[in-house]
Amino acid sequence: MFERLPSNWMLAIKSIGYWFWLISVLGIPMSYYASLHSQYSNAWPWVVVVVVFGVIPVLDFIVGRDPANPDEAVQVPRMEQQGYYRLLSLAAVPALIGMMAWAGWVFVSHDAWSWIGQLGWVLSVGTVTGSIGITVAHELIHKDPSLEQNAGGLLLAAVCYGGFKIEHVRGHHVHVSTPEDASSARYGQSLYAFLPQAYKHNFLNAWKLEAERLKRKHLPTLHWRNELIGWYAVSALFLIAFSLTLGWLGALFFLAQSAVAFTLLEIVNYVEHYGLHRRKLENGRYERTNPTHSWNSNYLLTNLFLFHLQRHSDHHAHAKRRYQVLRHFDDSPQLPNGYAGMVLLALFPPLWRAVMDPRVRAYYAGEEHQLSDSQLTHP
């Protein structure tokens, strides 16, 4: 639909379209108010989940791909300095935390829903805090200013996944698409085999990396300068606040939406790197990360919702590039749909393998040895 528009027009459209994240956040209160006095009261809490994973994949095909890359010499330097894009991502932080707190109050105080409606509510809120919240956090923790670093950490603490701030930047980005990275799914590995080790690795490796950093400063692991202790303390404060104000049901809601959010994150990790590996060189090292080592998805609609997260190939090759100037590369491995559709597909391993395994084999055409048993096993 937009593929023939001039690049300048597309960049202007996207500068406004990045506010689409508000649709997801506002979808939570809208679904609540729609449920009031409705004979389908228990259906409305599911609306956000249905739209994200049922409607958006279809709209991705209809709206089409995004053809626009900013000009490196002129547009990129200017766009990276524009505070508008930074403000846009930072504005999501209070909006998301406010929405989460209000949604917790609804979960506890609204008695018109059965357990079916309550389940849909938790899944919908977790979908928003996982898709928008963690995406914004991911953007912010890769930037140098302390305001953005702390804002990103706060969003991760709000879903009990503060370790991601450390493991993702210092672990995943170093070892991505190698057997050393448990966040890079192996060829033939199902989502349900991937998730437990991803949870475990994120937690343990974050502590290992932070302990190594403190050791270089001649400090013990259990020290007030341990960043993990700080962010897990913030998560504990969230839990205490929900418990004191909303009781045990508030605590349950907070923990449940957190689990949904960080599970969605790890499913996206599964999608982003499934089956792709950096080739091992003759000297025993892995080749440098480049745009061919992550799956790319250039569908415009989801890219607007997710701050260009789907241009993941460029992100891994140039981790500090801001979202508004991330580029699409035609030679990057391409997903057949946006992330929402791919997440849904990953839930059904036979369908996932039927769609994705031929694409992985095509990627390694002539280099089938790269799919050896040694590449399929996590450490």
Tens of pLDDT, residues 53-83: 999 999 999 999 987 899 999 999 999 999 9
For 286, list phi and psi in degrees, rounded to 5: -90, 145
Which pLDDT does position 199 carry in this prediction? 96
**Distant-in-sequence, close-in-space partners of 20: CB < 8 Å, separation ≥ 6:** 301, 304, 305
Domain membership flag for residue 1: no
Query: 250-280 pLDDT, tens per residue?
Result: 999 999 999 999 999 999 999 999 998 887 7
Q: pLDDT for 152-208, tens place per residue?
A: 999 999 999 999 999 999 999 988 988 888 889 999 999 999 999 999 999 999 999
Does the residue 2 lie in any domain?
no
Of all residues in the chain, what percent carry a pLDDT higher than 90? 79
Residues 301-345 have pLDDT tens digits of 999 999 999 999 889 888 899 999 999 988 889 999 999 999 999
What confidence score (pLDDT) does residue 373 get? 44
Q: How far is the CA of 294 from the CAs of 122, 190, 309, 315, 363, in angstroms?
A: 31, 18, 12, 9, 11
Number of domains in the chain: 1
Residue 122: give the domain boundaries.
7-376
Q: CA-CA distance, 335 to 342, in Å (whole number)?
A: 8
- Condensed to tens digits (0 to 9), the pLDDT of residues 36-45 reads 989 999 999 9
Contact 93, 25 (CB under 8 A): no
Per the domain annotation, does 283 fall within a domain?
A: yes
User: 115 near 249, Cβ under 8 Å?
Assistant: no
Is the pTM higher than 0.85? yes
